Structure 1
């Protein structure tokens, strides 16, 4: 991801040149710009993870080991839903960058799915946070085959009764 990121915030008011995230103080400033809004990395990661999962052709997020550990964690009460599994973000004052590890369905165009993921993630993050998304890097870690689901039923309570 990029460390030297500079540009105007997507949430900037064109007429006043004031960022809704950074804000300014004083009686002359509009009420919505008085103070500072900080958006945690985890918030952006959740938004990006949800947006990526909405794209047709995405089977799952996360690399092999992360998916295995995440599946175990989801079975533990209070272990979390794994929305941010496979998602890494870097959030600055006005900009964000996103890295995604994805698993695609067999038969889909990986190029088209990656483009759809970028479009959906950028749209969701910018709309919900006001941050400018400077890049969305997509790493395809695996292809989900239709027969991967066969034979993967819930385990019985035991082999004998």
Structure 2
């Protein structure tokens, strides 16, 4: 993923497009000062926006999800809003990569469109950055039967004793 260093803007003299340096005329770069948005802020906004879409079960690859599940069970632990989210932020633009796990039965193409719409809208509205791309990597399907397996002790096939 690459964030361009130039921005394309409409040419006031006609319908052709002209290219101007990044930051020119941006709401983040004003005569009163410059605002920068960190990668972690864009990651959090994108992760939260993607999680809002029904059909998204989780984020990240197998190892990242396992680590996240362990972290959540530790007292005071919480899931990371940036797990499975990678961003590249320039002065005016951002590119976002999401690694998602999808609920079985959900149309993946429609889900991807909904995720993109929501992520682009949230990031652009909250940060003022132009989102140039949202790449979605579907790495797994969550099956309803997977939930039942989580409540079983794998060594005995009996319900696991959970300390609450």
TM-score, L = length of structure 1: 0.81
Q: Which residue of 2 aligns with 1:125?
A: 123
Bigger strand share:
2
Ranges in structure 1 where 5+ consecutive residues have no aligned partner = 10-16, 25-33
Would you say the 8 A contact 1:47–1:125 is kept in 2?
A: yes
Confirm or deny that 1:59 pairs with 2:57.
Answer: yes
* Distance (Å, rounded) in 2 between the aligned partners of 1:96 and 1:157: 43
Shift in alpha-carbon separation, 1:141–1:81, aligned structure 2, 3 A: same
Q: What is the root-mean-square deviation in Å for CA atoms of aligned residues?
A: 2.0
Other-structure match for 1:29: none
In 1, Cα distance between the equivalents of 2:107 and 2:6? 33
Question: Does the 8 A contact of 2:98 with 2:136 survive in 1?
Answer: yes
Corresponding residue for 1:2? 2
**Which residue of the partner structure matches residue 47 of structure 2?**
49
Question: Distance between the aligned counterparts of 2:77 and 2:113, measured in 1?
Answer: 32
With over 3 angstroms needed to count, the CA separation of the structure-2 counterparts of 1:41 and 1:18, relative to structure 1, is same
Distance (Å, rounded) in 1 between the aligned partners of 2:114 and 2:72 = 27
Spell out the pairing of 1:7-18 with structure 2 (5 A cutoff). 7=7, 18=25
Which structure 2 segments of 5+ residues have no match? 10-23, 153-159
SS of structure 2 residue aligned to 1:19: coil
